Chains A and B, each alone.
Chain A
Amino acid sequence: MRAVAKKSSSLSLLAVLAVFAILAALPGDVAQIRLGPLSLLWWWGGVAGPLAAALAALARAGAHDEPGAE
């Protein structure tokens, strides 16, 4: 049960999470700054982040596994 990550896809997904964590941890309530109607935190965590995660996973989906890989 060896899990060799398809690195770029996995890293992109982890980057989506990391951006949210950094944004939430920024001092001075930077995450609460309104960008149009929503705050930055809601834009990323609720709207753009999930979409970016789905696109990141899909971007690498065309590649195939090497035969016999485990």
Chain B
Amino acid sequence: MTGAGGILGVWLTPAIWLALPALFLAQGAGALWAGLLLVAAPLLALSLRGAPSDPRLRAPVPLIHIAALFLAVIALIWAGLIVAGDVALRLGGPRWHGIALAASGGLLLTAWRGAGRALPALLMIAVLGLALPLLLLARVAGLGPVEAWQVVATSPSFSFPPGSPWVSEGRDLRLAQGPRPLQFQEEHRLTAVGETSLRLSTRDGRQTAERELTLAAGQPLTVRPGDRLEATAGTRLRFEAGRRVPGAPETGVAWASGATSDTRAGFLHGLGLAVTVLGGGIALLGPPLVGRPSRGALAAVGLALVAVIWLAQGWAVYTALRAPEVYLGGISPERLLDVPRLVFVSRLGAWRAQAMLVIAVAAGFLASTVALRARLSAADTTGGGEIGSDLGLWSMVFGVAALASLWAVDPWRLALAALGVAAAVLVPAAVLPTAASRPAIATAAGIASLAVFGLLLLAGRLAEPGAWLAALCDLPALAALPAGVLVLRLAAWRGAGA
């Protein structure tokens, strides 16, 4: 668990590393904070003093901590399976195919006792699968990454290129549409490829009108700024070349600056992200980690993290430069799979690049399941680490996670929730270790943290909170972690007064 492979496998689950390019693409400079935190968190966790290598010298880990880690591991596996399902859907297959294949692979590795030895190879495959198509993309673009960034950052808009399949032949709108309808920022003339049914929402002053439309093949439809379009199954439309892509940032300058309108809410969100990611890193990779990683392992982890954030930026920049149609309807991580099809002229070249990305996701997911189970074993000092290799238990975990991942959830948000739960329960004990050494108090603090976390998460789903509360509901560790610290602090004062 102290090897570079184990550390990177725990941290770089596909739900996290595939989300990074999507975040950079969607938010530009707004994603730099998340990227920097994802690099710093594991390094910060590894700079904390580890538990002694002799298990007899290690303090037992409270059951509530094991439970929280287990919950976080399940949620991270669940997020990975959602990514696998999304990838299958993007490739044109049913969601459950990707989920079932990934879950079966994870379960097979659970049955193989020597799976840990495959970790470095799996991670290497994942990195190469992400890096090689990017090199091909850069070659096609004919620009270095810095020049490409300059072009994107100064572009007046992200518009449909003339050669785009969305312009020339038209595509199924479901390939573009996220959970929300398409919203147009400027007038746009669409053309139906076949008979098409649409729901168009138009605004006239303060009034909004909705109407159902049926277009014959070749029939045009003009939409105005502010109109929203929802497609039904099988809607194929052609877009106008040179027009702004609905869902894209306004300009390259806006993308490069990443400016937000509400700076105070943005500050709270940034703080919440820092508490969640740094706390999650400490919970997953900090003490009780068996021993300390070697200098070589730490160097490998640092270099790999830097490589991943650079690769993520590279993907975002070249995609915005060569395939801005990806913005259509909003960005989701698996949209990267569309990029080769939009950029490469040769079908074989596009297919190869796409296959490399799929292999990268699969290898990254398998590596993360092995590493996460090993992490749980390392924390389970009283059970001798059996929890990580219990085939019956993991069959159930993969089964439940696979079923849950049929329900479409944003994998990045789910991964953040996993990190948040682990941070809220485990980090207070790292801050006040003496108070947390009594199991009853550690349990009470853990339950308090989990309760605050759950309540805020629920409040975010049921109500529509204002900007400030929304940041807390999005990233509940910001309140749940201090709640755990408060319980431990109160217990310490009471203990000192008694």
Contact = CB atoms under 8 A, between A and B. Distances in A.
Interface of A: 1-6, 9-10, 13-14, 16-17, 20-21, 24-25, 29, 32, 37-39, 41-42, 45-47, 49-51, 53-58, 60-62, 64-65, 67-70
B151 to A, nearest CB: 10
B430 A46 contact: no
Interface in B116-174: 146-147, 149-150, 153
Nearest to A57: B43
A17 B49 contact: no
B46 interface: yes
Interface string B299-332: 1011101100110010000000000000000000
A67 B50 CA distance: 11
Nearest to B34: A45
30 contacts: A1-B287, A1-B436, A2-B49, A2-B59, A3-B286, A3-B431, A4-B48, A5-B48, A5-B49, A9-B47, A10-B47, A10-B48, A17-B36, A17-B37, A17-B40, A20-B32, A21-B270, A37-B147, A39-B257, A41-B32, A41-B257, A42-B29, A53-B305, A54-B303, A57-B44, A57-B301, A61-B293, A64-B292, A65-B52, A70-B51
B16 interface: no
B118 to A, nearest CB: 25
A62 B36 contact: no
A2 B433 contact: yes
B256 interface: yes
A13 B40 contact: yes
A45 B149 CA distance: 14
Interface of B: 29, 32-33, 35-37, 39-40, 43-44, 46-52, 57-59, 61, 65, 146-147, 149-150, 153, 256-258, 267, 270, 274, 282, 286-288, 292-295, 298-299, 301-303, 305-306, 309-310, 313, 426, 429-431, 433, 436
A6 B51 contact: no
A-B residue pairs, 4 tightest by C-beta = A54-B302, A45-B32, A57-B43, A2-B433
Q: Is the interface of A mostly helix, strand, loop or mixed?
A: helix
B193 to A, nearest CB: 40
Contact of A1 (B61, B293, B313): B61
Contact of B36 (A4, A49, A56, A68): A49
A2 B35 CA distance: 28
Given A25-B267, A42-B32, A46-B32, 14 more contacts: A9-B47, A17-B37, A20-B32, A20-B36, A37-B150, A39-B29, A39-B257, A41-B257, A56-B43, A57-B44, A58-B299, A61-B298, A64-B292, A70-B57
Contact of B39 (A4, A42, A54, A65): A54
Nearest to A41: B29
Contact of A53 (B39, B274, B293, B313): B39
A33 to B, nearest CB: 11
A69 B53 CA distance: 10
Contacts of B46: 57
